[in-house]
Structure 1
Amino acid sequence: MKPNPQFLHRDSAFWAYTKLISEKLNYSKGGEIKKYSPTEMTSKLQELGIVIDQPMLDDVKAYLDYRADVLNGTVRQFFMDVHTAREAFYKLRGELYDKNGYTCALPINKQKGEKRTTPTLQALSIC
C-alpha cells in the first residue's frame, strides 16, 4: 500500500491527535471503521481538557475520513478473521518454512493455555 502524499510529513501533534481521537471515540463499530463528526471530535477533546486549533482539527478529520474510506472500501476484501489467517499461515509455513528447512524461531504469544500459540498475522509477515 502506498502512503497518501497529502498526509506525509505531518508532525507528531497531528499523529497524536489522530491516535487520541481514534482511541477515545473508538476505531470501529459493527465491523466498520468509524467516521467522526467535527462536533464529536471537538466535544471529546474538550471533555479531556484539550484545545485544538481548527486547521489541525480539519486535517485530522480529513485523514480519519480517508482512512475509514480506504479500510471500509478498498482493502476490506483483504481482511482476515482469525481462522482464515491461521489457515493461510499453516499453508505458507508448510510451503515455505518447513519445506525449506528454515530454523528461525517463530513468535509465540506469552499467554498460557490455548492462547499460547503463534500469532498468525505476525507470523505470516515472517513467512
Structure 2
Amino acid sequence: MQQPASFWALVRSLSEGLGYTQRAPRGEPKGAGPLKTHTAKDMAHELTRQGLDPRLVLLDDKPTELGKQLEQYFIYRAQVLNDLVKPNLMDVAEAKALFDKVYARVNPPATCPIPNNKQSDEKRAPAYLTGLVNMLIYEAIGDARCNYSPSQLTTFTRQGVPLRTLARRVDGAFPSVVNPVAVWEIKEYYYTTTFGSRVADGVYETLLDGLELDELHKKEGVRAEHVLIVDARYTWWVCGKSYLCRMIDMLNMGLVSEIIFGREVEERIPVLAREWLARAAR
C-alpha cells in the first residue's frame, strides 16, 4: 500500500489512542477482545483529544478523502487478521504435528540444523517453527549454500567495501550474511503464557531491521527480501492482537517483504526459497 509517512503516523496515533482491540471479556487476558475499526468521526474526536487537527479526517461532518482512506485501511487490517491470520496460527500440538510430518518427508541431514527450544524438562523439544522453516528451505534448495543460523551481523558490500551492517543478527540468511538475497526472522512463542516485553521487543526488532533495509534500498539501490515468520495462537491472537496489527502496518509500510503466519510456512517457504535460489544465480 503506497502511502506517505504521514498516513502511517496517523495510523499509529489513532490506533494507540482509540485502541487496537475492544475491551476483553471479564476473566480473559488483556488484548483478547475483538479487533477495532474506526470511523472518521471517532478519528476526529481522537485527533482533537490529542491536540491535532480533526479536519484532516472530517470536514463539515463528512469524511475527507484521507478520512475515507483511513476508515478503509482499518477495515482491511481487521479483515486480514480475522480471515487470513487467525486460521493459520497454530498451538504447540498442531505445530508438532506439522513438524513431524515434514521431518519424516525431508529427513534433514546435519547441514539442515534443527535447534531445540529454550524450554526445560517436559517442554524441551525442537523449535518447531524454526525447524519447519529450515527443512522446507532445504527441501527447496538442496545443498545450495544457506546460512540457517547466522552467528554474525549481516553486511552489504560494494566492491569489497561495506555499505551497511545491520544492527542485530537475523535468524537466517540466503545464501550468506554477506550480501544476502534474503534474510528472515522467526518469532515462535508456543509456551508463553503472558505477553511480556520480550515478545513485544521482537516486533520492534523486526521494525528496526526493516528501517535499515529500506534505507539501504533507497540510498544504495541494494535490496534484500525481509521475511517475518511468526506463530503461537495464544501468544499472538489471544494476548497480542495489537502487535499483529503493528505487523500488518509494517507490511504495508514496506518494512517487511512478507509475513508468514503459522501453517502458511508449508506453502510459502518453498516458493520463496526457489525464488531466492533463482535470484542468486543471476
TM-score bin (small chain): 0.5 to 0.7
Q: Aligned partner of 1:100: which letter? A: P
Partner of 1:4: none
- List 4+ stretches of structure 1 deviating above 6 A: 112-117
The 3-state SS of whatever aligns with 1:100 is coil
TM-score normalised over the length of structure 1: 0.59
Residues in 1 aligned to 2:116 and 2:67: alpha-carbon distance in whole angstroms: 39
Identical columns (%): 20
Q: How far apart, CA to CA, are the structure 1 residues paired with 2:8 and 2:124?
A: 33
Which of 1 and 2 has greater Rg?
Answer: 2
Whole-angstrom CA distance in 2 between matches of 1:28 and 1:96:
40
Count of matched residue pairs: 116
Amino acid at match of 2:108: N
Equivalent residue, structure 2, for 1:122? 230
Shift of 1:85: 5.6
Map 1:1-127 → 2, pairs under 5 A? 8-29=1-22, 30-51=32-53, 53-54=56-57, 55-72=65-82, 74-75=83-84, 78-83=87-92, 86-87=95-96, 90-91=99-100, 94-95=103-104, 99-101=107-109, 102-104=111-113, 118=127, 119-120=187-188, 122=230, 125=265
Larger mean Cα displacement after TM superposition, 29-38 or 113-122: 113-122
* Cα distance between partner residues in 2 of 1:116 and 1:62: 44
The TM-score with structure 2 as length reference comes to 0.32
Pair 1:93–1:22, CA change in 2 (3 A): farther
- Partners of 1:116 and 1:36 lie apart in 2 by 43
Change (3 A) 1:105 1:76: closer
Higher strand share: 2
**Aligned-partner Cα distance in 1 for 2:97–2:71:** 35
Whole-Å Cα distance in 2 between the matches of residues 103 and 45 of structure 1? Answer: 51
- Root mean square deviation, CA, Å: 3.9
Q: Structure 1, unaligned stretches of length 5 or more?
A: 1-7
Alpha-carbon distance in 1 for matches of 2:90, 2:41: 33
